[in-house]
Amino acid sequence: MFVQIIQGEVRDRRGVDSERERWEKELMPNAEGFLGSTGGITADGRLIMVVRFDSEEAARRNSARREQGEWWQRFSSHLTGDATFHESTDITTYQGGGDDSAGFVQVMQGRVNDVEAARNLNDKMEREMPARRPDLLGGLTAMYDDGAFTDVIYFTSLEEARRNEKAMSDDPPAEMEEWASLIEGDITYYDLEQPWLVSK
């Protein structure tokens, strides 16, 4: 899997929504190798989209399409300044990956000081988390060469996520302390209360 992560500041929410809907209707059917996307706009106007392709080559061919370029010009005109792009082929999915039935999606971005230790810990937490977090439907992690990561987590609803998050903070598993020791600097959160979820 190849993932493109697009981020920016939104100037016109209605324009972004209109162009996103048009892409799904008009451009998505001919987007070779497109698997799906997850995105949204946070309450403070930050845009993030996580777009999945079956290969980097397919993503490049999609970007090279004339209609894709024209669409991006219109879409990006609704942003404040330039968007930023991150790409990764180092993708780990858990509990089957994303879930388009999610009512709430949280995207986290940060950096770890030990990539292999983070992988092992994620594997362990995946085995144990379903019993503690029935609201967690699945997710994916994109890693970059410098240890940076983007984590996309799918929940049944915002209300259930907050309730179970509080319960875990009151009785945290030992792995949470270990995870905290791997993080360098701060984590940036994107809470998508009205996520855009689409699979081809």
Domain spans in the chain, listed from the N-terminal domain onward = 2-88, 90-196
Identical fold for domains 2-88 and 90-196, yes or no, is yes
What is the pTM for the complete model shown? 0.92
41 neighbors 4 (Cβ within 8 angstroms): no
Give the Cα separation of 72 and 22 in Å (integer): 11
User: Which CATH class, in words, describes the domain spanning 90-196?
Assistant: alpha beta
Nearest Cα neighbor of 98 from 21, 168, 198 is 198
Give the Cα separation of 161 and 198 in Å (integer): 21
CATH of domain 2-88: 3.30.70.100
Burial (0-12, 13-18, 19+ Cβ within 10 Å), 128: exposed
Q: What pLDDT sits at residue 113?
A: 92
One digit per residue, the tens of pLDDT, for the chain of length 200 reads 999 999 999 999 999 999 999 999 999 999 999 999 999 999 999 999 999 999 999 999 999 999 999 999 999 999 999 999 999 999 989 888 888 999 999 999 999 999 888 888 888 777 777 777 889 999 999 999 888 999 999 999 999 999 988 887 777 777 778 888 999 999 999 999 999 999 98
All residues at 6 or more sequence positions from 165 whose CB lies less than 8 Å from its CB, including other chains: none
Give the Cα separation of 190 and 127 in Å (integer): 25
